Amino acid sequence: MYKLNRIILFLVFTPLEVFLKGMRRLFNRKSFVILGLLTGSFISLGIAKDLDLTIVYDNNAYNEKLETRWGFSCLIEGLEKTILFDVGGEGSVLLKNMEKLKIEPKTIDIIILSHIHHDHIGGLSDFLRENPLVTVYMPSSLPQSVKDKVKDAGAKLVEVRSSIEICKNAYSTGELGAWIKEESLIIKTSKGLVIITGCAHPGIVNIVEKAKEILKINVYPVRNVAEEGSKIYKGSSHQKKKISNRVYLVLGGFHLCWMNAWNIKEIVNGIKKEKVEKVAPCHCSGNLARKLFEKTYGKDFILVGCGKKIRIKDAF
Ligand SMILES: [Zn+2]
Ligand SMILES: [Zn+2]
């Protein structure tokens, strides 16, 4: 019995000792520290991810190499899916701009169409010819002819009515507005919500309000002590602390190009009241509105146009 124990101990500890000796010889203390730091930074790289928003189609110029046309399209990278929000009016312009920006259409997983207007959906067929392996989200009120384009190309169609999750951290507001129905995109980031709009026909302030309402969550539920403890505490019915979501950025068409300064100022105040941290109005926002937003927002106003890229660091 004694002999058997010694044999077992020998078999277990000898390889371990040899292994540790070898490791000690291979790496001195300094190497171990460097190795640890490298592993740590790789782990943190894996956790924190940036969110990149690139305007690929807009009537406002930014990158001189790109073509500008009336319309809107924005590429969203950094989520678990790569999303193209709206596809502009002319497919050839969209694809040429993407090529100049070195964006490969095949890398896109999801297309979101905001609303029926041609300057937002016109590029659809040309894009689907390049990449039919996408899922297209569109307001269910869009005509059958647009839905058929998606189906005929062999792409997947998702008709949106009420708010839905598109992928982790990305949501559609659902169809908003009475006359021209429109969906906007809400992205949940560590800095707050990022809202992307096409034309904002239902009203930009309404969209922001709705987005906050959709993602209002009860973050820190307080446990019901009365149920758990032996004593009964008065007034300890199920309490929940409600935290409403902060809005970090609103980007896209604000649809203010036809408004006078007085009306625009009302909207700027409305957006400010909603505690929106940064604004990036483009497309149908108009130059007057962009100037008035810049006056109020200062450094938190982002001038965007075709080719502009906004990087939100450590967004997820
Ligand atoms: Zn429109
Ligand atoms: Zn538009």
Distance 117 CA to ligand 1 centre (A): 5
Mean pLDDT along residues 23-27: 51
For the residues of 253-315, what is the DSSP string, one character each?
A: E---TT--HHHHHHHHHHHHHTTEEEEEEEGGG-HHHHHHHHHHHGGGB----BT-EEEETT-
User: Which residues face 73 on adjacent strands?
Assistant: 57
Mean pLDDT along residues 178-182: 95
Q: Residue 296: which pLDDT band, with cuts at 50, 70 and 90?
A: very high
| Alpha-helical runs (H) found in the chain | 2-26, 29-47, 91-100, 118-121, 124-130, 144-153, 204-214, 225-228, 261-273, 287-297
pLDDT tens figures, 96-120 = 999 999 999 999 999 999 999 999 9
Question: Percent of the chain at pLDDT above 70?
Answer: 77
Ligand with an atom nearest the CA of residue 70: 2
- Locate CATH 3.60.15.10 in the chain: 48-312
CA-based angle 219:220:225, to the nearest 5? 145
Distance 178 CA to ligand 1 centre (A): 13
Ligand with an atom nearest the CA of residue 89: 2
Instruction: Output the pLDDT for position 34.
Output: 53
Global pTM reads 0.79
Q: What is the maximum alpha-carbon separation in the chain?
A: 97
Mean pLDDT along residues 75-87: 98
Distance 112 CA to ligand 1 centre (A): 14
Instruction: Output the pLDDT for position 50.
Output: 97
Distance 89 CA to ligand 1 centre (A): 11
Distance 109 CA to ligand 2 centre (A): 23
Decide which of 29 and 83 is more confident: 83
Give the C-alpha separation, 316 to 302, whole Å. Answer: 21
Ion ligand 1, residue ranges at CB < 5 A = 117, 199
Distance 118 CA to ligand 2 centre (A): 8
Instruction: Output the pLDDT for position 129.
Output: 98
Residue with tokens 């008709």: 159
Q: Please answer whether residues 105 and 315 qualify as being in contact, where contact means their C-beta atoms are separated by less than 8 angstroms.
A: no
Distance 132 CA to ligand 2 centre (A): 24
Q: Please state the separation of Cα 132 from the chain's center in Å.
A: 22
Distance 250 CA to ligand 2 centre (A): 16
Mean pLDDT along residues 31-58: 69
Mean pLDDT along residues 137-161: 98
Instruction: Output the pLDDT for position 239.
Output: 42
Give the C-alpha separation, 40 to 263, whole Å. Answer: 52
Distance 55 CA to ligand 2 centre (A): 14
Distance 230 CA to ligand 1 centre (A): 61
Decide which of 4 and 171 is more confident: 171
Mean pLDDT along residues 124-151: 98
Instruction: Output the pLDDT for position 48.
Output: 82
Distance 18 CA to ligand 2 centre (A): 70
pLDDT tens figures, 191-209 = 999 999 999 999 999 999 9
pLDDT tens figures, 205-220 = 999 999 999 988 533 3
Distance 121 CA to ligand 2 centre (A): 10
Ligand with an atom nearest the CA of residue 122: 2
Mean pLDDT along residues 237-265: 81
Distance 277 CA to ligand 1 centre (A): 25
Distance 266 CA to ligand 1 centre (A): 21
Mean pLDDT along residues 275-290: 98
Instruction: Output the pLDDT for position 229.
Output: 36
Is pLDDT of 123 > 70? yes
CATH 3.40.710.10 is held by the domain 48-312 = no
Distance 35 CA to ligand 2 centre (A): 52
Question: Which has the minimum average pLDDT: 28-32, 60-64, 221-225, 289-293?
Answer: 221-225
